């Protein structure tokens, strides 16, 4: 059990349900709406129903990144409006990163903003998406292109939800744990090397602590927070590229590919020694089936990278490792360097 405090809200890990109920009654919501998707309505809502001692309405959306869209927001805003949601209502986002990102965005924009609580149910959402205030949706295939910063009132984490995840989902989330270790915590990296894929409450709390320290310093990503995008320049391009494919990549799988490519760039540009790159590459290749990219796809991937939010004056921008637990934000590289990194996959 742990309480991790950010300036405007707490993240509670495996705390007693009475605390959640007390927190909600303190908000005195006029109504409570729980946003779920096709998976969490079955696998997680019964648990929440069991612990909550308030009345609530359920709004369900389709699962999957392809539904993280403004059209889905429109459906949710419409349902909120039809059911009389007002400014004093509360929204509880129960799900993975799509539900917490989209739900946070819907709540932050409905009537200029209503309170919301994130109850992340995947590893990825528990250690990353549900904390730090980034909310939003994709624009066609462009990841998180529409959105705003909006803090939840509370993040309520139950690590028991991780038991409902399949292996692929666990590995996907684990990529963000690896990322947090690589950019901000050498001790967490050692923990991972010693206990790969061991999903414990301690691991979740330690990964969150890395993110907490970074977002506290730079909540709106003016500088240092960009290091949390390590692996994401290449990762987001791959995720967009495969989005409509018969075999889409999960977000964390794409980030794992991205970390491989961007660790190589970190080495290639003289920021890390070859042994460090080898150590990262060994772990990533052991945990994730890495897809090779054919040359004829490079131009499409570069097109996606060119639309990345992090780019600076039209130039590709990367966050590159300078050691285990250290990362340099906003490194501008050429298209040729980016292509060379795709070639190592």
For the purposes of burial, counting CB atoms within 10 Å of the CB of 308, is it exposed (0-12), middle (13-18) or buried (19 or more)? buried
What does DSSP assign to residue 315?
A: B
- Of 29 and 231, the one with the shorter C-beta distance to ligand GLY is 231
- Of 248 and 329, the one with the shorter C-beta distance to ligand GLY is 329
Min separation Cβ 128 and ligand GLY, Å: 5
Query: How many angstroms separate the most distant Cα atoms in the chain?
Result: 59
The DSSP-derived string for 202-268 is HHHHHHHHHHHHHHHH-TT-SSGGGGGGTTHHHHHHHHHHTTTSSSPPPHHHHHHHHHHHHHHHHHH
- Of 171 and 180, the one with the shorter C-beta distance to ligand GLY is 180
Structure tokens at 45: 């809502």
Min separation Cβ 10 and ligand GLY, Å: 18
Structure tokens at 142: 């462009």
Which residues contribute to the site for ligand GLY (CB under 6 A)?
128, 132, 134, 225, 228
- Of 208 and 283, the one with the shorter C-beta distance to ligand GLY is 208
3-state helix, strand and coil shares in percent for the chain, rounded to the nearest 5? 50, 20, 30
Min separation Cβ 169 and ligand GLY, Å: 17
Min separation Cβ 294 and ligand GLY, Å: 29
**CA dist list (Å): 271 to 47, 179, 247, 315, 341:** 47, 17, 34, 20, 15
- Of 80 and 125, the one with the shorter C-beta distance to ligand GLY is 125
Min separation Cβ 134 and ligand GLY, Å: 5
- Of 67 and 143, the one with the shorter C-beta distance to ligand GLY is 143
Q: Measured between alpha carbons, how far apart are the two ends of the chain, in Å?
A: 39
Min separation Cβ 189 and ligand GLY, Å: 18
- Of 41 and 239, the one with the shorter C-beta distance to ligand GLY is 239
Min separation Cβ 228 and ligand GLY, Å: 4
Min separation Cβ 106 and ligand GLY, Å: 18
The rounded distance, in Å, linking the Cα atoms of 340 and 197 is: 30
The rounded distance, in Å, linking the Cα atoms of 40 and 27 is: 24
Nearest position to ligand GLY, beta carbon = 228
- Listed in order, strand segments (DSSP E) in the chain are 2-5, 10-13, 32-37, 57-61, 90-95, 115-120, 134-139, 142-149, 154-157, 316-323, 326-333
- Of 128 and 138, the one with the shorter C-beta distance to ligand GLY is 128
């Amino acid at each position: 059990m742990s309480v991790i405090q950010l300036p405007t809200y707490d993240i509670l890990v495996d705390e007693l349900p009475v605390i959640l109920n007390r927190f909600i009654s303190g908000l005195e919501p006029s109504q409570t709406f729980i946003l779920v998707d096709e998976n969490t309505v079955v696998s997680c809502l019964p648990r929440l129903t069991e612990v909550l001692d308030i009345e609530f309405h359920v709004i369900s959306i389709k699962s999957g990144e392809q539904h993280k869209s403004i059209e889905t927001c429109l459906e949710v805003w419409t349902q909120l409006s039809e059911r009389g949601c007002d400014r004093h209502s509360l929204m509880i986002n129960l799900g993975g990163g799509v539900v917490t990102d989209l739900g946070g965005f819907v709540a932050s924009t409905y009537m200029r903003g209503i309170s919301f609580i994130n109850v992340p149910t995947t590893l990825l959402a528990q250690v990353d998406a549900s904390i730090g205030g980034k909310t939003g949706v994709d624009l066609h295939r462009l990841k998180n292109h529409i959105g705003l910063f909006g803090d939840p009132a509370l993040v309520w984490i139950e690590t028991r939800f991780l038991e409902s995840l399949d292996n692929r989902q666990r590995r996907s989330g684990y990529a963000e744990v690896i990322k947090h270790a690589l950019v901000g915590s050498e001790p967490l990296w050692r923990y991972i090397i010693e206990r790969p894929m061991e999903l414990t409450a301690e691991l979740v709390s330690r990964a969150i602590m890395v993110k907490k320290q970074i977002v506290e310093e730079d909540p709106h990503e003016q500088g240092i927070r960009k290091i949390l995008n390590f692996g994401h320049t290449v990762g987001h391009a791959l995720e967009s590229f495969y989005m409509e494919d018969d075999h889409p990549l999960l977000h964390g799988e794409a980030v794992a590919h991205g970390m491989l490519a961007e660790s190589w760039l970190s080495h290639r540009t003289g920021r890390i020694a070859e042994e460090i790159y080898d150590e990262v590459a060994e772990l990533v290749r052991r945990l994730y089936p890495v897809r090779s990219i054919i040359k004829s796809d490079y131009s499409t991937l570069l097109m996606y990278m060119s639309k990345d939010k992090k780019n600076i004056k039209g130039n590709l921008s990367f966050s590159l490792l300078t050691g285990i637990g250290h990362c340099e934000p906003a490194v501008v590289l050429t298209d040729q360097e980016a292509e060379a990194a795709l070639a190592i996959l």
